[in-house]
Amino acid sequence: MCGIIGISSNKPVSANIISSLKKLEYRGYDSAGIATLFEGEIKEKIEKQFGSFDSFKKDFVEQAKGVFGSGWLWLVQKGNKLKFIPTHNQDNPLMFDKDVKILLGVDVWEHSYYIQYGPDREKYLKNFLKIVDWSYCNQQLTQ
């Protein structure tokens, strides 16, 4: 996965780890476990439309918590706008609108988080946003 940087300084190891993890707050990981930064066109679009990444995260979590039962929350681009689309069961936005571009999806079926998080869907969603591969989202925007 990712290496923790800065271990060799004079700070206690736990302080180095905490400091390093804070630097990774806006990073995700690609399929090879390589950290990806929240940057590029996806960053510009999210900050323009939601005001900030923190505001986006809050909206994302609230929208995903609102999916009743089994389903998904999707971040899509339609035209020049980003929007959230919730779907139920196995559905996805392309089933209803061929003009959307799917950028990100999160599974909110209980099987995706219950063993690790119990009924705490919010904690699962906040942690999900810490591992998003933002470089992939940028690739989706350009296709």
Are the beta carbons of 43 and 56 closer than 8 angstroms? no
Q: How far apart are CA 121 and CA 29, in angstroms?
A: 21
pLDDT given at position 1? 27
pLDDT given at position 35? 55
pLDDT given at position 18? 40
pLDDT averaged over 10-residue windows placed end to end, the chain, 143 residues: 31 40 49 70 95 96 93 96 96 94 94 89 93 92 88
Tokens of 130: 């810490």
Q: How far apart are CA 60 and CA 39, in angstroms?
A: 18
DSSP string, the chain: -PPPP-TTSSS-HHHHHHHHHHHTTTEEE-TTS-EEES-HHHHHHHHHHHSSHHHHHHHHHHHHHTS-SSEEEEEEEETTEEEEEEEETT--GGGT-TTEEEEEEEE-SGGGTHHHHTT-HHHHHHHHTTS--HHHHHHHHH-
pLDDT given at position 29? 60
CA–chain centroid gap for 70, Å, is 19
Are the beta carbons of 71 and 105 closer than 8 angstroms? no
pLDDT given at position 28? 60
Rg of the chain over all Cα atoms, to the nearest angstrom? 17
pLDDT given at position 143? 85
CA angle 16, 21, 22 (to 5 degrees): 100
pLDDT given at position 12? 41
Give the pLDDT confidence of 43-82 residue by residue, as tens digits: 999 999 999 999 999 999 999 999 988 999 999 999 999 9
